[in-house]
Amino acid sequence: MACPILVLESEEAQLFRKAGLLDSMMMYSRNPTNIMSWIRPALVLLIYSNATLVSAAETLKSYYAHPVQVDEFGVIAPWHDGGNGPLDERMRIAVEVMKRYPWVDRPKAVMAAPDFVYNSHWSIQSDGTILIPPTNDWMCGDLSQRAWSIIKGLTEYYAYSGDPIAFTYIPITAEYILEYAQTPNSAEWPNFPIATPTQGKAYGKCDPTARNQLDLCAILGTEFLRAYRLTGNPEYFESAKHWGDIFAEKCRLDPTLPPWSRYADPAVVDWSDELTGSCTLILHFLDDLIRLGHTGKNQAILVARDTGQKYLSDVLLPEWLENDTWGRNYWDWDNPVMCGIVSMCGDYIMQHPDTFPRWKTDLRNILTLIFNRNGADPNSRGDMYHGAWAFPESCTCCGTSLSYNQYTAAPTLLHYGFLAKNERMYEIGRRMMIMACYDSDENGVVKDGLYGDPVATGEWSNLAHPWPLCQVTEAMKWAPRIFAPKRENHIIRTTSVVQSVIYAKGKIAYSVFDAPDQTIDVIRLSFLPDRIAADGLDLVRLSELSQNGYSVEAVDSGDYLVTIRHDGARNILITGPDPQIQMDDRKFEFAGQWLKVDEPAAWNGTLSVSEQPNAECTHEFTGNQVRVIGSVNTHGGQADVYLDGQKQLTLIDCWCPVEKNQHVLYTRSGLENKKHRLRIVVRGQGNLRSQGRRISIDAIQSSHQTGDRDFGQGRGPKTAQRMIFGYPGRQDYIDCHGQAWRPATEWIIRSGYGNDTVEQAWWTERRSIYIGGTNDQELYRYGVHGPELWINLTVGPGDYYVKLHFASTPLHTFLERNSEGGRISHTMDVAINGQPVLKAMNVDKEAGGRFRALIKSFEPITPRNGAIEVRLQGCDQQGASIQALEVGLLTPNDGSG
């Protein structure tokens, strides 16, 4: 019998696809004024084909910008050869783009700043040249999200690298918001941030009548507090306190209603004003204020925070399957379907495990439900690729732009896996993060389209670089053993904010904003430290950090992962036999006019300084990594960098509103381990804010130490995984053997553009109470259905058994009678890893009747590309369905996956 294939495109969509326009236009589908809004919702057509069901989890020859690389198990691996790792490589490209980004000044703009401060509209040429197209107010609308990426990403990057770029771009961003993006004092929300300025003059003062979205206003509050911790500027703290007081004043205390609306003025939009799961962004901001000692008048901020937490716990989390629980958070359209905000919600919940005692199961369910929901649109191709999940922002956006949600989801999955000690979730996040880092060429062109084209990133600069930087640094926090560079020195994670850091040879000195109880830092080092001191007092090496001290774990390639607890102490010093080489500026080759300047804060007390155009500084080194160390201040200028004769796609900028010495001006890792020649050429100019043009060089660091290129290969869960399809419970079902069954979420059905898979394909209500032939009837009372669907199971190496659980539980959902009045049989084909295992299986017949359990077992099953795919396709109008599934090693290693 021929099996049905589902076609889910309108006639208009097919025409656009034939013209090659559909994927590139999908990015605009959030803007109601553009052409994609003319395309009618996809028509679901059921036709028949003689196609044989053999598909397995997708594998392409390349993803985004690079040909695919795989490990020995066929799982996606980093595309580049450097020992610094995929995340460090992606960080470098993002920061280099930000450093060379064009600036704008008066009269076009209200102040001198990099153009990305004002708008996200950009384009980039194949040689790395960045252009700013004519723009409009709409492209300014992601102000809060750009500020989030800039402040969070650069703050984390400073701690990681010692590059002072954070102290240049963060104050400029904050200055623009304080001066030109707040409501007037007379407004209903007075002196409040205008987070989504989709009205008003571009490059100018934001119009306070714009659709000001409150969760995104809270993001600005959180980032202003981060900027305060970094810089110590009290103006940032005072502004954030005022914003928090207004949130507290406007909070609804009725437990049946959302604590806040979605907008400061709901009348500015003609769609839903209900604030959903993104209320966690407001709660995060209020928590931050409380930590800094500001609780508002009569503890109003505490009351508002507690009210919001109760709403999240009592109302939203029990409705985890509903679209409106996690949808409707885009600033530019009313997207009712699940999207990237889920990760931000998850991050908040993980910070409060006592407040949300079911966090482990709740977040496991919610964070993976997005795979099913966002894979609905056939145009997006959301699926698993070489073992890595990749999916769009939602089932209504943005075509094959699949890297954005990988960057969004992977860090949270890694965070969850780390805290919950869940290997399956950790491995899903690891693979997703590696695949996401395939998106950028060396020149800074970002190809977020699965098939190698820019989709959203071709237009939105924030999605191209600041946001990936923000998320890459977050992912590395939770996977330092896997993703931190090998044979280098980096602060990876801290519970505070690093305000100053110097990475010298054999000496790392840093200070943090504060050090309350349980202050923990994690550093990956290329050497075993011989001394760690906190505020001048030596810390003791401990096996458990129940008090101040440090622990050391040897990791691969001769590195060490050091965890430091330093409650009450803000200044940390680490020393030891660092293998890197640090060469003083006295030993460089110079051409043109250079001065030797005494500077006590410099390494060895001197700097080489020049302002002369085309003056050069040259140094040869042998190794695979190099860093230029120097000083920055208000008189700093710019210089170009050449490596082995090739001009680098970045620049050295020694301007900074605060003076910093022994800081990183240029860095490059992942080089071929050989002799290199580094040349610095003075431009004789500064940026639009600089009072001078001075280049100040202090030292050059390099290393020829090598590490392996294993970034987690061979990982994955080997414990048994059991799941019930359509199961709506927040907690696992425990069967008669004491085994846990979770809701099944990691599966795909192409239900169509904009369609809710839960509504259309899940049976979330019991279809029958009685199920014969089983002691666990609950396994068979739910289910999922559709013409074709497939399950992607993330697993580790080994041989597995697969058990598929079926039951025919007919309701009016399926056609019950044929034209002669007889009952229609339920038949389907099943394939595992592309190999047919069942052909036209009749569930009624195999089970011995309806309302009876049927188990089909298969073994041995060897994973393909680190996964097991089970694909079901209906052979009649009833389509395919399944009730439950279990998979496990043939050599049992039972437990919860």
CA distance to 196, 463, 464, per residue, from 335 (Å): 16, 18, 22
Please say if the pLDDT value at position 815 is more than 90: no
What is the structure's pLDDT at 55? 56
Please say if the pLDDT value at position 57 is more than 80: no
Contact between 219 and 281 under an 8 Å Cβ cutoff? The reply is yes
What is the structure's pLDDT at 329? 79
Confidence of residue 820 (pLDDT cuts 50, 70, 90): low
Distance CA 333, CA 754 (A): 13
**Burial (CB count <10 Å: 0-12, 13-18, 19+), residue 470:** buried
- Nearest to 524, CA basis, from 89, 84, 80, 152: 84
Packed helices 359-374 and 341-350: angle between N→C axes, nearest 10 degrees:
170
More confident residue, 21 or 167: 167
**CA end-to-end span of the chain, whole Å?**
37
Average the pLDDT over each of 25-29, 459-463, 813-817 and give the range with the smallest value: 25-29
What is the structure's pLDDT at 817? 53
pLDDT in tens, 449-498: 999 999 999 999 999 999 999 999 999 999 999 999 999 999 999 999 99
> Parallel, antiparallel, or unpaired: how do β-strands 740-743 and 721-724 relate?
parallel
Contact between 135 and 120 under an 8 Å Cβ cutoff? The reply is no
Please say if the pLDDT value at position 1 is more than 70: no
Contact between 727 and 735 under an 8 Å Cβ cutoff? The reply is no
Query: For a pLDDT cut of 70, what percent of the chain falls above it?
Result: 91
Packed helices 214-231 and 279-291: angle between N→C axes, nearest 10 degrees:
30
Q: What is the pTM of this model?
A: 0.94
C-alpha radius of gyration, the chain, whole number: 28
Query: For a pLDDT cut of 90, what percent of the chain falls above it?
Result: 83
Give Cβ neighbours of residue 298 (< 8 Å, ≥ 6 apart): none
Strand partners, 679: 618, 642
pLDDT in tens, 621-656: 999 999 999 999 999 999 999 999 999 999 999 999
Please say if the pLDDT value at position 357 is more than 50: yes
- Residue in this structure with the two tokens 């300084």, named with its chain if needed: 609
What is the structure's pLDDT at 12? 36
Please say if the pLDDT value at position 892 is more than 80: no
Distance CA 380, CA 400 (A): 4
Contact between 667 and 92 under an 8 Å Cβ cutoff? The reply is yes
Contact between 302 and 324 under an 8 Å Cβ cutoff? The reply is no
State the greatest distance between any 2 C-alpha atoms of the chain, in Å, as a whole number: 99
* Residue 132 amino acid letter: I
What is the structure's pLDDT at 811? 54
Confidence of residue 824 (pLDDT cuts 50, 70, 90): low
Contact between 157 and 91 under an 8 Å Cβ cutoff? The reply is yes
Distance CA 399, CA 376 (A): 11
Average the pLDDT over each of 58-62, 219-223, 363-367, 781-785 and give the range with the smallest value: 58-62
What is the structure's pLDDT at 337? 78
Phi (first) and psi of residue 606, to 5 degrees:
-135, 155
Element (H, E) at 221: helix 214-231
pLDDT in tens, 102-134: 999 999 999 999 999 999 999 999 999 999 999
**Burial (CB count <10 Å: 0-12, 13-18, 19+), residue 142:** buried
- Residue 79: CB atoms within 10 A of its CB come to 19
SS3 annotation, 409-475: HHHHHHHHHHHHCCHHHHHHHHHHHHHHCCCECCCCCECCECCCCCCCCCCEHHHHCHHHHHHHHHH
Omega prior to 863 cis, within 30 of 0: no
DSSP state, residue 235: H
pLDDT in tens, 188-228: 999 999 999 988 778 999 999 888 999 999 999 999 999 99
Contact between 427 and 794 under an 8 Å Cβ cutoff? The reply is yes
- Could you give the 3-state DSSP secondary structure of residue 292? coil
Confidence of residue 152 (pLDDT cuts 50, 70, 90): very high
* Alpha carbon of residue 761 to chain centroid: 28
What is the structure's pLDDT at 818? 53
- Nearest to 859, CA basis, from 817, 814, 799: 799
**Burial (CB count <10 Å: 0-12, 13-18, 19+), residue 452:** middle
Please say if the pLDDT value at position 19 is more than 60: no
DSSP state, residue 108: T
pLDDT in tens, 534-586: 999 999 999 999 999 999 999 999 999 999 999 999 999 999 999 999 999 99
Distance CA 453, CA 241 (A): 43
Distance CA 230, CA 556 (A): 32
More confident residue, 337 or 525: 525
pLDDT in tens, 268-314: 888 888 899 999 999 999 999 999 999 999 999 999 999 999 999 99
pLDDT in tens, 674-686: 999 999 999 999 9
pLDDT in tens, 371-428: 999 999 999 999 999 999 999 988 888 889 999 999 999 999 999 999 999 999 999 9
Distance CA 463, CA 451 (A): 17
What is the structure's pLDDT at 13? 41
Contact between 60 and 428 under an 8 Å Cβ cutoff? The reply is no
CA distance to 55, 345, 348, 418, 668, per residue, from 351 (Å): 41, 10, 5, 13, 34
Distance CA 450, CA 386 (A): 13
CA distance to 146, 149, 217, 683, 702, per residue, from 142 (Å): 6, 11, 11, 34, 39
- Residue 17: CB atoms within 10 A of its CB come to 14
Distance CA 583, CA 629 (A): 10
Please say if the pLDDT value at position 599 is more than 70: yes
**Burial (CB count <10 Å: 0-12, 13-18, 19+), residue 777:** middle
Phi (first) and psi of residue 669, to 5 degrees:
-125, 175
Mean pLDDT of 658-686: 98
Distance CA 174, CA 286 (A): 19
- Could you give the 3-state DSSP secondary structure of residue 26? helix
Contact between 649 and 100 under an 8 Å Cβ cutoff? The reply is yes
Give Cβ neighbours of residue 487 (< 8 Å, ≥ 6 apart): 83, 526, 557, 558, 559, 579, 625, 703, 705, 706, 707
Report the chain's mean pLDDT, rounded to a whole number: 91
Q: What is the DSSP string of 314-332?
A: IIIGGGTTSHHHH----SS
- Nearest to 616, CA basis, from 673, 509, 507, 695: 695
Confidence of residue 801 (pLDDT cuts 50, 70, 90): very high
Element (H, E) at 553: strand 549-554
